[in-house]
Structure 1
């Protein structure tokens, strides 16, 4: 057995620390590569891994996409880190040399907008719902940023800028804004107050394709929190009313059978409302209600461990609010 002197041990630790810093620097410098999947004539998307943001997936656990028109590219969402935003730009450039003109942001949650910086650097104009302004400036957003700096370094750092919209859309409840670009027709659809205060979706008419954001997830538990799940269920019907041939969810695989694939999200929201609503009506505590609920239908899906208890508690509070409103 080798006996190192204190000085030798310190030198060894110093070399290891330098090596660690070098490796971190390499990780930070190494560009991420994304491979877009073409899902229709004009649309490609990036599919993140299942589960929550982590070092293992480098924050790549949400979806984003882009539409190539005859006069520029329209992007929907920007992923969860500046490095991923840069990788999006590089991937788009391999598909089209058209300028990236516009980014439509579904909502201001960290995994959907931290990649805006590189897209803005390309000259893109960012559109978001006007209610996103309050979300962006909120204490929750500031706390989430601190958590991401700690948990997703070096992919999120102090130089990560939380980018505001260039245009805040004043959409009426359930309303829409239409625009055309390069011969394609787009509809920006309000779904605010469902998953977040500022949800919007994007419909590409020529491709019959809907970007749904986090209002729809395939193959995983959605994050609900204290969202208005009653409004969310109505929004699922709003999605189907556009008669999409393809839906790109905020998480999970694209869907070519939207009505069938939305069934899981619908059933999950309905089950949360039923079980937590009964608990509130029976004046049961949340802990007792959660322990007594049969979660077997959902427990094997990705993100269940991380999100389900939070979703159930948020829905419990929501059902309390709804019960008080009807009294």
Structure 2
């Protein structure tokens, strides 16, 4: 197997070629990625734990964003039996220019999915779990109730497990954000994905300031919930724009920010503008802490769910230290 698992033709093993997953991109010209630098090369997954995790997900008929988004960290994470479960089906109603998740007519909701997720969490013995989803603009609540049912099912089956959710934006779904926040996940994550100037080409179905307001609303519902957001770089953004996004997130009292390198899933997707160096990522990390984030993850291979369990523990410890300092 090749060393670099993030390939242009990335796809789930049980699906047709990538071009068929994205019919809306079929007419796009091919814009192949430049050759990846050494710092982006990872080994193909071969561990016993990786295959055990994959088998469990298949047995329970669960989707994972690890596979659907062709994540470069899948070998490392699944070796540790950390899989990010993707609920609400495997087909998205949006067509973001960067994303490898299939676009088209959404799947019918599986009423047993929340229980299957809870079974997987228990089966893997997870101390911390990340649950994400596709966008479901076709549903009246955008899938909010399904998130709530999944949180409750996990809590009932594994009460000691901390729960992190990575949600869509629930655009034009009144009450959805409040409903999910009221279920009190430990971490409420919603990614801005890129700087506002690039939304029209990178994330055309979304609205930057709506996403910011979502994160702010979570804190209004329950200030104890940790909030988290992330962006990709290498899409054509400028450094000052990234720093402005940091300021916007801090104004919404977001606790944790992630920054990672954009990797083009297929030649039909948004092209890579450049590969950002590890030194630049480290600079962003230091700037983020300087701006007041409790936790910053910034590196070429950083993804929303990468090291989520360890990062959550560090973030919680940072909050406790901050509260103790304020009290003392």
TM-score exceeds 0.5: no
Please state which structure has a larger fraction of its residues in strand. Answer: 1
Larger Rg: 1
Which structure has more relative contact order (CA 8 Å, sep 6+)? It is 2
TM-score, scaled relative to structure 2: 0.30
TM-score, scaled relative to structure 1: 0.30
